[in-house]
A and B are shown apart, each in its own frame.
Chain A
Amino acid sequence: GENVEQHPSTLSVQEGDSAVIKCTYSDSASNYFPWYKQELGKRPQLIIDIRSNVGEKKDQRIAVTLNKTAKHFSLHITETQPEDSAVYFCAAHRSNTGNQFYFGTGTSLTVIP
C-alpha cells in the first residue's frame, strides 16, 4: 500500500517568516494530495489540495507544490501568523483503491509572536 512520510514533526518560526512542510509518498498511482490543518482539540480541516496533473497551487498565503517524478509534495505558508499554529497533515489518495486516504504523521507548527 501507500506510505506517506512527513517532515519535520515539529517546526517553530517567528511571526512573519515562512514555513515549509514536506511529504513523500511511495505509490506512483496516487493522484490527489490534500493538506489538513488541525487546531488543538478540533477536527482536521482541509486547507489546500493538489491533483497530480498540476505542479503548484496557491491560495493567498498558502501554496502547495508537487513533484511527481520525485514523489514529493510540500506545503508553503508565507507571512506566518500566530493563528497558523496548529498540526498540519498531508495525505495521498488513489482513486482505484477504495478511496482511501493515507496520512502523514503530522507537523506541529508554532508561530512565535
Chain B
Amino acid sequence: NAGVTQTPKFRVLKTGQSMTLLCAQDMNHEYMYWYRQDPGMGLRLIHYSVGEGTTAKGEVPDGYNVSRLKKQNFLLGLESAAPSQTSVYFCASTRTGGTEAFFGQGTRLTVV
C-alpha cells in the first residue's frame, strides 16, 4: 500500500516552460488536493477535486490547471512557469469529508 505518491520529486524549469505533476493514490479516496508550501505561509490550496471528472479552484489557482480523469490520479499543470511558482507542492487525499488527509512526499519545483 503506497498511499499517495507524487512524481517527480524535484524539477527545475526555465521561465515559460510547462510541466505536469502527477499525484496517484491507491486508497480509493474520493477527494484529492494540490497545495503549495512557501516559507511562513503554510499550505495554500491550489485546486481540489471531490470525485472523478470534477475539479474546483482553491485559494491560489492562477497559473495552474488540473485534471482528474481517473479516480486515483490528480494532475497539476503549469502551462507557462514563472519564478513566483517556485515552491514545494504537496498532493493530498481524503476518504470523505472531515477525515484524515494523507499527503504525498512533495515536489520541489524551482523556476529560473
Contact = CB atoms under 8 A, between A and B. Distances in A.
B69 interface: no
B101 interface: yes
Interface string B20-57: 00000000000101010000111111001010000010
Given A105-B40, A105-B41, A106-B42, A45 B103 contact: yes
B94 A89 contact: no
Interface residues of A, number: 27
A95 B97 contact: yes
What class of interface size applies to chain B in its complex with A? 20 to 34
B98 A44 contact: no
Nearest to A52: B98
Contacts of A49: 100
Contact of A43 (B44, B50, B90, B100): B90
Given A32-B98, A100-B58, A44 B103 contact: yes
Interface of B: 31, 33, 35, 40-45, 48, 50, 56, 58-59, 90, 94, 96-101, 103-106
A-B complex: 8 closest residue pairs judged by Cβ atoms: A32-B98, A95-B97, A105-B42, A43-B103, A103-B43, A103-B42, A99-B97, A46-B100
Given A46-B101, A99-B50, 16 more contacts: A31-B98, A32-B97, A34-B100, A43-B90, A43-B103, A43-B104, A43-B105, A44-B43, A51-B98, A93-B98, A98-B48, A99-B48, A101-B45, A102-B45, A103-B43, A106-B42
